[in-house]
Amino acid sequence: MSLLKLLLAASSKNASLQTPLQAQQWRFLNVHEYQGAALMSKFGINTPPGTPAFSVDDVTKAAKHWADENGEVVLKSQILAGGRGLGKFTSGLQGGVHMVTVAQAPVLAEQMLGSVLVTKQTGPAGKPVNTLYVAQKMKLVREMYFAILLDRKSAGPIMIGCSQGGTSIEDLAEKFPDKIVKIPIDIRVGCTDAQALAMATGLAVTGDKEAAAQQIKALYELFVKTDCTMVEVNPLAEDPSGKLIAADAKLAFDDNAAYRQADIFAMKDDSQIDSRSVLSPVWNNLNYVTMDGTIGCMVNGAGLAMATMDVIKLAGGEPANFLDVGGGATKERVTEAFKLILSSDKVRAILVNIFGGIVRCDLIAEGIIAAVKEVGLKIPVIVRLQGTNVDQGRELLANSGLAITPADDLNDAAYKAVAAANILSHAGGIMKCDVIAAGIVNAAKQVNIKVPLIVRLEGTNVERGKEILRTSGLAIIPAEDLDDAAKQAVKSITKA
């Protein structure tokens, strides 16, 4: 069945759009809940008292310190993703947030620390829990939603509130659209007393509205003075006296301000970020985000990179990454980009889409050829160039003697990349190669495959398997080895 799905995806030029799994971008810094609580406290924002714990001994001490009159505390897994309460550890433990007694705290901490927590936002790989936030159990009677974001329409910050909370803003907007309050802020003036009171009224606070307004102004001060791109408090809660408490918050910071927010950026937790995204700023400042496809992308310009991924999907493929090499597509930068792309073992073809503006296309082509030779690429590379000296650039690529195929335009490049990625490589162990080949042929017939399919088999009855493929009457080409498979793929897409 999985083979059938693979062939179906390969044959469809209009595959339905799916959202690939993404790793967190390095672009905006996110901090853990305990770090955000410490920052908010500096600005006079009410937060639940608590202590970060990095070991079981730390948890034991903190639990004794923060236990309430019933001897209970809250253990909260610290990962950079939402949905922790409903998450599940790979060990089988259910939930990343627990209310426990002082005696139970170290026992549960033993299971949580060092384990991987999977939530609806982490993807199946999950994220490691290296820290627990041991917090005082709060008595909260109401939950609300509050956030400050950057708004394109008003070209400035905007406050968003809802008198209901405890769930995502998307769910709240769907269930309670009439309770959503939006207040744009003039960045030159800041959050006025009137605007803060209007938000407190919109949140339907039951306590002191003046005090609530001051909390809202403090949150705005945090947003501005720490160069936040987002402050999301969910829930913003009330205790029995009506006092507002930022029970849980998510803060994101603009990396352009790293030079003046050194203390905050020192909090960055690389264990929560995909290793390739962590390395990419070091690798010639390449803007990289890993995805879940098989076609590696190398493009100059973020907008062009996004368009390239869209066209790959429309051609029936899935991009393996977002990668913007910036304005200068030099040999050194292209070389590092290839290394970054190949750090994923899922990549089966690479599409290079370069617009030569200031830099001539023939010089770009020379850089690509030199980079391919240096890296020793074994998979097909499809290159679309456009700009000054484009014909000379394409000629250099076509005559390089390498597995590089020039494309006429972006659509042509995408279809060739999808075809090149459809090299099937299977080693027949327990299962015989002739049986595997028969299954491939049957699956190809069922989906009425239209693109060339290159198949490399190795193992028991391999010659019989290759014969079945050759005599199938379909566009299936058997390959002798992986190098031959790559060459066959390039040859087939050159004819396409």
d(CA 36, CA 230): 12
Find, among 271, 204, 199, 272, the residue nearest to 242 by Cα: 204
d(CA 56, CA 108): 9
If you count DSSP H runs as helices and E runs as strands, how many of each does the chain have, helices first? Answer: 17, 23
Write the burial class of residue 225 (CB in 10 Å: 0-12 exposed, 13-18 middle, 19+ buried).
exposed
Q: 106 in helix, strand or coil?
A: helix
CA distances 21 to 248, 319, 342, 458, Å, are: 26, 11, 18, 31
Query: Following DSSP, what letter does each residue of 442-485 receive, concatenated?
Result: HHHHHHT--S-EEEEEEETTHHHHHHHHHTSSSSEEEESSHHHH
Among candidate residues 145, 220, 288, 415, the one labeled active-site is: 145
Strand partners, 352: 298, 383
Residue ranges in 350-432 assigned as alpha helix (H) = 361-375, 390-398, 410-421
C-beta separation of 246 from 260 below 8 A: no
d(CA 319, CA 308): 9
d(CA 110, CA 310): 45
Is 174 a catalytic site residue? no
Among candidate residues 33, 34, 143, 232, the one labeled active-site is: 232
d(CA 30, CA 34): 12
C-beta separation of 187 from 156 below 8 A: yes
Is 458 a catalytic site residue? no
C-alpha R_g of the chain: 28
d(CA 381, CA 368): 10
140-178: b or e for each residue (b if 16 or more CB lie within 10 Å)?
eebbbbbbbbeeeeeeebbbbbbbbbbeebeebeeeeee
d(CA 67, CA 50): 10
- DSSP designation for 255: G
d(CA 51, CA 393): 60
- For the annotated catalytic residues, the residue numbers are 145, 232
